[in-house]
Amino acid sequence: MSEKAAADPSGAEVRDLRRIEPVVAPPHGAALRFVMPDGRLTPQGEAAGVDLGLARLLFRDMALARRFDAEALALARQGELGLWLMSLGQEAAQVGSIRALRPDDHVFPSYREHAAALARGLGPAELLRQWRGLAHAGWNPATHRFHFYSLVLGTQALHATGYAMGVLRDGADEIVMTYFGDGASSQGDVNEALNWAATTGAPVLFFCQNNHWAISTPAAQQSRTALHQRAAGFGLDSYLVDGNDVLAVHAVTSQAAARVRDTRMPAFIEAETYRMAGHSTSDDPGRYRADGEVERWRLRDPITRLEILLKAAGVGASFFTEVEREADALAAATRRACLSLPDPELADLFGTVYTERHGLLDREAAEYAEYVAQSLSEVPA
Ligand SMILES: Cc1ncc(C[n+]2csc(CCOP(=O)(O)OP(=O)(O)O)c2C)c(N)n1
Quick one: which atom of ligand 1 is closest to the CA of 185?
15
Task: Identify whether the C-beta of residue 95 lies closer than 8 Å to the C-beta of residue 65.
Answer: yes
Regarding the beta carbon of 152 and ligand 1, being less than 6 Å apart is answered: yes
Residue nearest (by alpha carbon) to ligand 1 atom 25: 152
Each residue of 283-320: pLDDT tens digit?
999 999 988 999 999 999 999 999 999 999 999 999 99
Cα–Cα distance between 117 and 71 in angstroms, integer?
16
Provide the sign of the torsion angle of the four alpha carbons 192, 188, 234, 26, taken in this order.
positive
Instruction: Tell me if 215 CB under 6 Å of ligand 1.
Output: yes
Could you tell me how far CA 50 lies from the centroid of its own chain? 24
Tell me: the pLDDT tens digits for 316-349?
999 999 999 999 999 999 999 999 999 988 888 8
pLDDT in tens, 75-84: 999 999 999 9
The domain limits of the chain are 22-339, 346-378
Q: Which of 215, 273, 274, 281 to mutate to test the pocket of ligand 1 (most atoms within 8 A of CB)?
A: 215
Rounded-to-integer distance, Cα 248 and Cα 234, Å: 25
Q: Is residue 221 within 6 Å of ligand 1 at its C-beta?
A: no
- Please state, as a whole number, how many other Cβ atoms lie within 10 Å of the Cβ of residue 131: 23
CA of 328 relative to ligand 1 center, distance in Å:
31
Q: What superfamily in CATH does domain 22-339 come from?
A: Thiamin diphosphate (ThDP)-binding fold, Pyr/PP domains (3.40.50.970)
* Ligand 1 proximity of 312 Cβ (cutoff 6 Å): no
Specify whether the CB–CB gap between 306 and 59 falls below 8 A. Answer: yes
User: Model-level pTM?
Assistant: 0.90
Is the CB of 214 within 6 Å of ligand 1? yes
Query: pLDDT tens for residues 46-66?
Result: 999 999 999 999 999 999 999
Q: How far is Cα 252 from Cα 239, in angstroms, rounded to an integer?
A: 7
Calculate the average pLDDT of the chain: 91
For ligand 1, the distance from its centroid to the CA atom of residue 180, given in whole angstroms, is 9
What's the distance, Cα to Cα, between the start and end of the chain in Å? 74
